[in-house]
Amino acid sequence: MHRLTWILGIVALLVVAACGGSENSAPAAEPAVPAVESADLRVDMHDIYFGEQANNMDNPPVWTVTAGEDVSIELANLGNLEHNWAVVKLGEEVPVPYVGGEEQEALLYYVGDIVPAGSTEIHTFTAPAEIGEYLVICTVPGHYPAMQGRLEVQ
């Protein structure tokens, strides 16, 4: 009788150990790499331009959205300076030369404010309700007009 109790105890311990082992191994079955977040728009920020080429004044990058929709935007600062992405109200002018700060009245909104050098941020904003082609600028002093693009609202 004593021996049977002892054997049952050992079996019980083994079962507990086996269950514990399977619980511990469960997290290892999950993906090691987290899923990549995807955004509706991607904006590459360089020193000192948006997009792929340093010719924003002649050929600004265009990002297209639907009026009034919620938009996620990835701001990838690939440069060594800080930048931002700010939408200017329709029909408003931004002074040139641009020293920063004087655009406040003309801005519809900033998205994400300042993006530090070498970092990527994902933000959401609501696209303007009014259809049109909006000027987008970086409001860091001296970056406009070299750093600009267009937000096409359809």
Per CB under 5 A, residues contacting Cu ion are 83, 138, 140, 143, 147
Q: How far is CA 133 from CA 73, 92, 107, 127, 151, in A?
A: 18, 12, 14, 12, 6
- Closest to Cu ion by CB, 41 or 115: 115
Task: Say which DSSP state 40 is in.
Answer: S
- Closest to Cu ion by CB, 83 or 150: 83
Task: Give the shortest CB-138-to-Cu ion separation in angstroms.
Answer: 3
H-type helices in the chain, by residue range? 2-25
- Closest to Cu ion by CB, 106 or 132: 106
Task: Give the shortest CB-48-to-Cu ion separation in angstroms.
Answer: 6
Task: Give the shortest CB-82-to-Cu ion separation in angstroms.
Answer: 7
Amino acid at 4: L
Alpha-carbon span 153 to 109, nearest angstrom: 15
Task: Give the shortest CB-140-to-Cu ion separation in angstroms.
Answer: 4
Which residue has the CB atom at the shortest distance from Cu ion?
A: 138
- Closest to Cu ion by CB, 14 or 57: 57
Q: Are 26 and 34 in contact (CB under 8 A)?
A: no
